[in-house]
Structure 1
Amino acid sequence: MREIVNTNAAPAAIGAYSQGTTNGELVFTAGQGPLDPDGEVLEDASIAEQTERVLDNVAAILEEAGASMDDVMKTTVFLDDIEDFEEMNETYATYFETEPPARSAVEVGALPLGIGVEIEAIALVE
């Protein structure tokens, strides 16, 4: 059975989606952008700062579902500009220092709200 995951520690959905869903074994996060828990976009933030905020949001959703960053099996990274990959990757690596998950990273034409990075994750629930 599918359950909705919702936490005040990450920004509320700004459209017709949930922050995450789980079946009790896996949790899927929606793509998270660099918004604070109140929904404010980080203005003029570097890709490193945006990536940190994004991954903090992912971690908060996972925690609400009974998982952690150590349980992440796969992430997908969407970048507004693939030239930002190295800067994103340096920050990303600090969240997955040992045994990082599988990952895809792609450049997209544009991201909502003019953000530079969005990340979604799939994780095992403990």
Structure 2
Amino acid sequence: MPVELLRTEALSDRAPYAYAARISGGGVVFTAGACPLDAEGRIGPVGDVAGQARLVMDNLVAALASAGARLEDVAKTTVYVATDRREDLLAAWEVVRAVFGEHDAPSTLLAVPLLGYEDQLVEVEAVAVS
């Protein structure tokens, strides 16, 4: 099979999809949007953009690890923030950039009206090469 769908026990099973996919032979990894779901599948912390961004990044690291990839392997990200306030965009972005550190891969930062889970404010998806 050219596409291997990856799931991990490190992340909640609430999401009805694989957290990452690896293209066999090529080492290209696509992640689903990492959501601020804790181990029990709850959104947290409610109302806290920066707090949700930290949990999202923890979950992104776990999804990448399931594919044998690390943050340093990421070629591009897309960051979604459910807001109409620039301050919220910047709060999420500061967390994402801090977690990536010196690895400043291309990224798109978007304000959106709504994300998939109730009370969800942040989501990050990535493309990596491992």
Is the 8 Å Cα contact of residues 13 and 19 (structure 1) preserved in structure 2? no
Matches within 5 A, 1:23-38: 23-24=23-24, 25-38=27-40
For residues 64 and 14 of structure 1, the distance between their equivalents in structure 2, rounded to whole angstroms, comes to: 16
Q: Please, what is the CA RMSD of the aligned residues? A: 1.4
- Given that residues 75 and 119 in structure 1 are in contact (C-alpha distance below 8 angstroms), is that contact kept between their aligned partners in structure 2? yes
Q: Is residue 57 of structure 2 the alignment partner of residue 55 of structure 1? A: yes
Output aligned runs, 1:63-82, within 5 Å.
63-81=65-83, 82=85
Pairs within 5 Å for 1:1-126:
1-15=2-16, 17-24=17-24, 25-81=27-83, 82-83=85-86, 84-113=88-117, 114-125=119-130
User: 1:43: Cα distance to partner?
Assistant: 4.0
- Structure 2 SS opposite 1:11: coil
Identity %: 31
Report the alpha carbon displacement of residue 19 of structure 1 after superposing the two structures with TM. Answer: 1.0
Quote the Cα distance in structure 2 between the aligned partners of 1:43 and 1:91: 14
TM normalised by structure 1 equals 0.90
Counterpart-to-counterpart distance in 2, 1:40 and 1:119? 17
Unaligned runs of 5+ residues in structure 2 are none
Contact 2:81 2:121 in 1 (8 A): yes
> Whole-Å Cα distance in 2 between the matches of residues 37 and 101 of structure 1?
28
Indicate if the aligned counterparts of 2:45 and 2:52 stay in contact, CA closer than 8 A: no
1:121 partner letter: A
Q: Write the distance in 2 (CA, Å) between the matches of 1:11 and 1:26.
A: 23
Residues 18-67 of structure 1, C-alpha deviations (whole Å, 9 max, x = no match): 21111141111101111112211114251111001001101001111110
Q: How many residues align?
A: 124
Distance 1:44 1:2 in 2: 35
Structure 1 window deviating more from structure 2 (56-65 vs 92-101): it is 92-101
2:40 alignment partner, SS class: coil
